[in-house]
Chain A
């Protein structure tokens, strides 16, 4: 009974909350509006926005040195999670069956394991840093910890369910993922989408001034 609920209605409900909530958050950002800049630009804002969208993936030298731990852990976590989410065989099969209708090549098992290990190491380092460093400890809110905790539990249950031999573990993993989807639009996890706006806005303004932001 619970299994059917998790596999059926709850999945569609969480997906709907995620989709509608995410779109509403993006709409609420755009709704606030931006006044047009009347100062004559030195260069194009569009090119600056596009450049900043990608250039921020590479850290500046100074911060790459001073914030080395955050940056390395951040890369490990995000790259590992991206690989797991979109290229783990069970996820490819699940997404093909439930959403896209088509599949794509998945990671070999060994690559899956490496991705999972990298993501775990990255996430735990970031979480420890958040708890122990005076700056991140001061900045962090309950939301930051709930988001990190949920992602950790989803990843952990996913690894436990890897063999797909034990149905309750698969259901637990799916249930936690559904909780994460429901929580997502109301949290700082929204940076997954809103970073495009942030980088774009800053890149456009700095681009108009002729500065590579």
Chain B
């Protein structure tokens, strides 16, 4: 990929808003954010300190927004940001940050470091300093429609399997349905049981739903690489499809960053509120069971714990629904010491799992989750994000651990009170 330093600086400069200015003005370099970052705690490498990953952006802010910064540059006492800085920091910005947001929860002055790293990536993407794995994923998302190359035909093949297994008919492009479901490529390719579970649950709860053939992919590589233009294009496809079908809600799948993209960044990317609402699948399931439409029976007695996907819980605010649902289907649910909004990341969020170059580091920092699981001693780990799930499974395999990872939606589906009727789903 070609590099364009001037474009990168211009993009980075455009990201400096009041929040960024306040954050850099407040930072006293106490280093506490390092203690919240698994890349530091598991390697003890000070370069992985979250605020240090923002050094290029901080230097640009200082050059342009502070007296000493301007003064030092004029007198030649300080070197302006250079192309080499982008090259030197690329690995820190992409390989060693999952945008998990844990550092933002502990900063004594309240800096949202993750917000800044998300913005810093805009500058790096514009300058052309991004990992090849993420570049390719973004290219596939824009040209094929999915970062993993999943096409409509691939989805249709997966849906045919689901229909055969369940005896249900999956509604496609149903005009005026209440809900439009999105899926992540990872779910379609690696965990089609998620789609099967959704179909069974919706049939049991008599949910009016559909899938759009125009926009079924929920993941958004534009958010991960830091390209606002790509992110806007990907979100726009979902918005166009949902508004043309006239649905009331779009269901974000278990995938974590997909939720952040469509729920929290989406309206800001397209520059207007949606004409529909976004609901996360866990929020919807919890709502359905509270309304009595989703009837569950039996309890799994196996001791199990829950891995909170960062973008759904800490950065997304869906904190209680997974716990409510687990309480309805599992009697042996125990929390890890750091859970909920203070969970530890799986190590593969923020595009790290799509970045082959970062694999070694990702597997190393998985030690944080390994220690959490070993401290608890459970052999079953429930989660609600296909990306977390694959990253956890790879880490577990790498460490020869005897732990099974299961999806929460599937666990809920296993406890449906009545077997799904072999009839068409999606009709109220």
Spell out A's residues near B (CB within 8 Å).
25, 28-35, 37-40, 42, 52-53, 56, 59-63, 66-67, 70-71, 74, 130, 133-141, 143-144, 186-188, 190-191, 194-195, 197-203, 205-206, 209-213
Residue of B nearest to A189 (CB): B28
The distance from the CB of B258 to the nearest CB of chain A, in whole angstroms, is 14
CA distance A26 to B273 in the complex (A): 31
Beta-carbon contact of B51 and A139 below 8 Å: yes
Residue of A nearest to B318 (CB): A210
Spell out B's residues near A (CB within 8 Å).
16-23, 25-32, 34-36, 40-41, 44, 46-47, 49, 51-52, 65-68, 104-112, 115, 263-268, 271-273, 277, 314-317, 319, 338, 341-342
> Chain B contacts of A60 at CB under 8 A?
36, 105-106, 342
Contact of A141 among B29, B264, B266 (CB under 8 A): B29
Tally of A-B residue pairs with Cβ under 8 A?
170
Beta-carbon contact of B342 and A62 below 8 Å: yes
Contact of A63 among B36, B267, B271, B315 (CB under 8 A): B36
CA distance A203 to B265 in the complex (A): 17
Residue of B nearest to A34 (CB): B18
The distance from the CB of B24 to the nearest CB of chain A, in whole angstroms, is 9
> Chain A contacts of B25 at CB under 8 A?
25, 29, 188, 190-191, 194, 197-198
> Chain B contacts of A38 at CB under 8 A?
267-268, 271-273
The distance from the CB of A154 to the nearest CB of chain B, in whole angstroms, is 17
> Chain A contacts of B115 at CB under 8 A?
202, 205
If A28-B21, A32-B21 touch, whether A135 touches B34 (CB-CB below 8 Å) is yes
Contact of A56 among B18, B51, B110, B267 (CB under 8 A): B110
Beta-carbon contact of A194 and B342 below 8 Å: no
> Chain A contacts of B34 at CB under 8 A?
135
> Chain A contacts of B30 at CB under 8 A?
70, 74, 136
Interface centre among A32, A34, A56, by most chain B C-beta atoms within 10 angstroms, is A32
Beta-carbon contact of A197 and B26 below 8 Å: yes
Beta-carbon contact of B106 and A188 below 8 Å: no
Beta-carbon contact of B316 and A209 below 8 Å: yes
> Chain A contacts of B19 at CB under 8 A?
34, 201-202
Residue of B nearest to A185 (CB): B67
Beyond A34-B19, A135-B34, A213-B104, 4 additional pairs, beta carbon < 8 A: A29-B21, A29-B22, A38-B273, A211-B317
The distance from the CB of A61 to the nearest CB of chain B, in whole angstroms, is 8
The distance from the CB of A40 to the nearest CB of chain B, in whole angstroms, is 7
Beta-carbon contact of B18 and A30 below 8 Å: yes
Chain A to chain B contacts (Cβ below 8 Å), 9 pairs: A29-B25, A56-B110, A63-B36, A74-B108, A136-B29, A136-B30, A144-B28, A198-B111, A211-B317
CA distance A35 to B19 in the complex (A): 10
The distance from the CB of B138 to the nearest CB of chain A, in whole angstroms, is 22
Q: Which 9 A-B pairs have the closest CB atoms?
A: A199-B110, A210-B317, A197-B22, A38-B267, A209-B317, A139-B29, A135-B31, A66-B35, A198-B110
The distance from the CB of A185 to the nearest CB of chain B, in whole angstroms, is 8
CA distance A130 to B25 in the complex (A): 18
Beta-carbon contact of B268 and A35 below 8 Å: yes
> Chain B contacts of A40 at CB under 8 A?
267, 273, 277
> Chain B contacts of A56 at CB under 8 A?
107-110
If A33-B18, A211-B341 touch, whether A52 touches B35 (CB-CB below 8 Å) is no
CA distance A136 to B49 in the complex (A): 9
Beta-carbon contact of B314 and A32 below 8 Å: no
Beta-carbon contact of B109 and A198 below 8 Å: yes
Beta-carbon contact of B264 and A39 below 8 Å: yes
The distance from the CB of B359 to the nearest CB of chain A, in whole angstroms, is 25
CA distance A201 to B22 in the complex (A): 9
CA distance A135 to B19 in the complex (A): 24
Beta-carbon contact of B319 and A198 below 8 Å: no
Residue of B nearest to A68 (CB): B35
Interface centre among B30, B68, B115, by most chain A C-beta atoms within 10 angstroms, is B30
The distance from the CB of B215 to the nearest CB of chain A, in whole angstroms, is 19
Contact of A138 among B46, B65, B338 (CB under 8 A): B46
Beta-carbon contact of A139 and B52 below 8 Å: yes
Residue of A nearest to B112 (CB): A202
> Chain A contacts of B267 at CB under 8 A?
38-40
CA distance A3 to B43 in the complex (A): 55
The distance from the CB of A35 to the nearest CB of chain B, in whole angstroms, is 7
CA distance A205 to B317 in the complex (A): 11
Beta-carbon contact of B35 and A28 below 8 Å: no
CA distance A71 to B265 in the complex (A): 34
> Chain B contacts of A199 at CB under 8 A?
109-110
Beta-carbon contact of A197 and B18 below 8 Å: yes
